[in-house]
Amino acid sequence: MDPVLAYVWLSCCSNLNRRTKKFLVELFNGAESIYGSSDSELEGCLEVYCEDARQRKRWGFHLDRNLEDARNCMTRASAMGAWLMHYDSPEYPALLREIADPPMVLYGLGDPSLLLRRGIAVVGTRRASSYGRWAAFQIAARIAECGTPVISGMAEGIDAEAHAGCLSKGTGTIAVLGTGIEHCFPASNRKLYRQIRQEGLILSEFKPEERGYASYFPLRNRVISGLSSAVVVVEGAEKSGSMITAGLAAEQGRDVFAVPGNINQPNSAGVNRLIYDGAYPITDLDTAAAALGLSSQRDQRLRESLSAEEMRVMDIVKREGMISRESLCTQAGIAAASVASLVTILELKGLLQTSGTKIVVAK
């Protein structure tokens, strides 16, 4: 039996919850075996799981072996150019496999190789303040500068800014949807959806035609944090989806970072509480980048892209420790006009820092 089909069938089974599915897959070594086994065999193995006992007693245990639904999903997916990735395939992200209730199947539009890289989630409220939007964009951009993809939910507000910030630096972003991949929710993000489809990756665990239900969004949030090595919450009210994501992240053992906000703003009450409860506060982009383990990667990437003259200037500044433009001019033998532009471009790249006449290597 086609493993993909088996996993799609398994994901469509509504009698079992996701933890149970994971348990069964591990036990039976793949969805095909589950399909091939009888209901009584399965029931026997599930006796371990008390949670399902009540459900079993209520509905009777029977898994519908009809594959029509599953085949339908697969057809619809390929019709729109999406690919499928199942729990057992080698490309399935390792981090995601480790969570207690991973998706059995992922439908994807875009570049699957993004899943191989270490990703960082940036999430937050739908009703973001202008500060929140700015912060989300900047943080996402900073993360993206190192080639690290930003993962978010393509909701309006913080999520949208995070995706935009990532794309602005030319790094693909990953959007995990609370609907099937056919739908773009919210409709206002249609342009973003198209852009991410082209330059990043759109993921969904739901059937392609599935519209969004309120309960799907917390489910989707667990995938966001499941895919990431760290989660940054930018703005969120006390009882918001972002707090749920943060909670899930903590359960999954991911680092949680939060952007502090004004204490008179309901939207910041959640993030401030996270900090109180031990989340790492983001006080400035550079320290945050260091805490996220980013700067070294970025400098590496940057240093590789320098021109010969830029390298020469960097070498001289490193050697001298602190130097003025004038001395650079004399020592490097470059004309004054060129020294001015070289120092400025290196400053913009974040490799040098100036103050008055002094130039030093940026920390």
Point out which residues bind another protein (CB under 8 A): 138, 322, 324-327, 329-331, 335-345, 347-348, 354-358, 360, 363
Pick 176 or 323: Cβ nearer another protein:
323
Min CB(320)–another protein separation in Å:
10
Q: How many helices (H) and strands (E) does the chain have?
A: 18, 12
Pick 29 or 341: Cβ nearer another protein:
341
Min CB(356)–another protein separation in Å:
5
Q: How far is CA 300 from CA 132, 170, 201, 314, in A?
A: 30, 17, 25, 14
DSSP element (H, E) containing 233: strand 228-233
Pick 308 or 335: Cβ nearer another protein:
335
Min CB(132)–another protein separation in Å:
17
Strand order in the sheet with 352-355: 322-324, 358-361, 352-355
Which DSSP category does 152 fall into? E
Pick 303 or 358: Cβ nearer another protein:
358
- Taking alpha carbons only, the member of 87, 3, 14, 69 closest to residue 208 is 69
DSSP element (H, E) containing 133: helix 130-145
Min CB(303)–another protein separation in Å:
18
Cα 185 vs. chain centroid, distance in angstroms?
A: 18
Min CB(342)–another protein separation in Å:
8
Pick 33 or 331: Cβ nearer another protein:
331
Min CB(196)–another protein separation in Å:
21
Min CB(281)–another protein separation in Å:
20
Cβ proximity of 317 and 323 under 8 Å: yes
- Taking alpha carbons only, the member of 12, 1, 183, 11 closest to residue 82 is 183
The alpha carbon torsion through 156, 161, 166, 169 (nearest 10 deg) reads 140
Pick 278 or 356: Cβ nearer another protein:
356
Question: Quick one: CA dihedral 350, 354, 359, 363, positive or negative?
Answer: negative
Min CB(291)–another protein separation in Å:
19
Pick 90 or 356: Cβ nearer another protein:
356
What distance in Å separates the CA atoms of residue 214 and residue 252, rounded to the nearest whole number?
Answer: 22
SS3 content of the chain, % helix, strand, coil (to 5): 55, 15, 35
Pick 184 or 342: Cβ nearer another protein:
342
